[in-house]
Amino acid sequence: MYSELETLKLAVVDDELGIRLGVSSILADMTMDIPDVGCRIRLQVSSWADGESFVGSLDSNVPQIVLLDSKLPGIGGMEILEGTLSKRPDVVTIMITAYATLESAVRATKLGAYDFLAKPFTPEELRVTVRKAIHHHVLAAQARRLMEEKRTVRFQFISVLAHELKSPINAVDGYLDLIRNRMLGDELASYDGMIERSSLRIAGMRKLINDLLDLTRIESGQRIRNPEPLVLEDLARAALEGQENAAREQGIRIDLTAEPGLSIHADRMEMEMIFNNLVSNAVKYNRPGGTVQVTLSRREDQVEVQVTDTGWGMSAEETARLFSDFVRIKNEHTRDIPGSGLGLSLVKKLSSLYGGSVEVESEPGVGSCFRVRLPFQLSSAGIGGAVLKETDHG
């Protein structure tokens, strides 16, 4: 929100001229660095001798910080706090009190005051209190902005999800209409194709829902995780076997090269998800008669799983958005290939959960190479194990 030098507006509302002049001159050249947010703040001070004119000014000019005298000639500070300022939770109010009784402090806090200054106060007391208020304002503004971003992301996620669920429902609905109206005559067998396509769309929807559940459990930390020593080559072989039929149908050859003795301390199901998604993509988006090369190797304190294919490949613009939820690259080759677009986003989330990474290199028409790196646990406490303990919510 702030970059470099930012100006915050501070209003002082007090009927004592001395206080107004004093506050203005003490705060006029004050600057404050907020390292957490990387910004520097300076203040622009305005002053008001009575509550009415201050409240009137709020229509056109709302300060971020208010120094508010609790006792004013007309409308009092407490009333302003309770009325006008209660509708502006983003304004940080410091009450100035002549007699700081516990009772008035409790009341003002309940009404939303952030802090107090008891008269008479020293310049240093003023500066300390105002600095605290500035810090509070900046962090609260940042928190509000993050909440807003989260809401937007959630909204986008739900919109895409709704769309992804609606299209198979519409398709099946359409087929049912055609069958209901006997569009192809009274022979039941004529509708086999439609029924088959409907089943496929429903299977796709079921997969999407299951993938979503996996994703949600992983992200919320609800999935019970069981880290155990796993031999990487075994995981790779199991994933290759799972894709054997699909590969055979397309005449695709899969090769595995594994550095011997590589193992990782991780949850079996999560590792299977990573391997299955990468290998299934390499087969699904390959060309007939193509090859898939899976290579397992050691890279310093990490293991590297590399899956290379000779498929349709992707442009740089396409690979840039590949790891987000629901992303599917639609073109003449991929149009009829079913998928939820959640596989790689799952791979990315799992990799980062383990303190690892995933990257892709791809060339249209030539093929793609996906590389996942994961910390493996060495003899006792490797990085993988340490990361896991933190996120292992059981």
Ligand X SMILES: Nc1ncnc2c1ncn2[C@@H]1O[C@H](COP(=O)(O)OP(=O)(O)OP(=O)(O)O)[C@@H](O)[C@H]1O
Residues of this chain that interact with ligand X (CB under 6 A) are 211, 277, 281-282, 285, 309, 311-314, 322, 327-329, 334, 339-345, 368
- Hunting for tokens 């990085």 — which residue is that? 383
> Per CB under 5 A, does 281 bind Mg ion?
yes
54 binds, among ligand X, Mg ion, none (CB under 5 to 8 A by kind): none
77 binds, among ligand X, Mg ion, none (CB under 5 to 8 A by kind): none
Least CB distance to ligand X at residue 158 (A): 18
322 binds, among Mg ion, ligand X, none (CB under 5 to 8 A by kind): ligand X
* Options 227, 343, 355, 375; binder of Mg ion; rule CB under 5 A: 343
Least CB distance to ligand X at residue 258 (A): 20
172 binds, among Mg ion, ligand X, none (CB under 5 to 8 A by kind): none
368 binds, among ligand X, Mg ion, none (CB under 5 to 8 A by kind): ligand X
Least CB distance to Mg ion at residue 339 (A): 5
Q: For residues 86 and 167, which CB has a smaller minimum distance to Mg ion in the complex? A: 167
Q: For residues 198 and 281, which CB has a smaller minimum distance to Mg ion in the complex? A: 281
Q: For residues 195 and 360, which CB has a smaller minimum distance to Mg ion in the complex? A: 360
> Per CB under 5 A, does 311 bind Mg ion?
no
Give the CB-nearest residue to Mg ion: 343
> Per CB under 5 A, does 302 bind Mg ion?
no
329 binds, among ligand X, Mg ion, none (CB under 5 to 8 A by kind): ligand X
Q: For residues 281 and 310, which CB has a smaller minimum distance to Mg ion in the complex? A: 281
By the criterion CB under 5 A, which residues form the site for Mg ion?
A: 281, 343
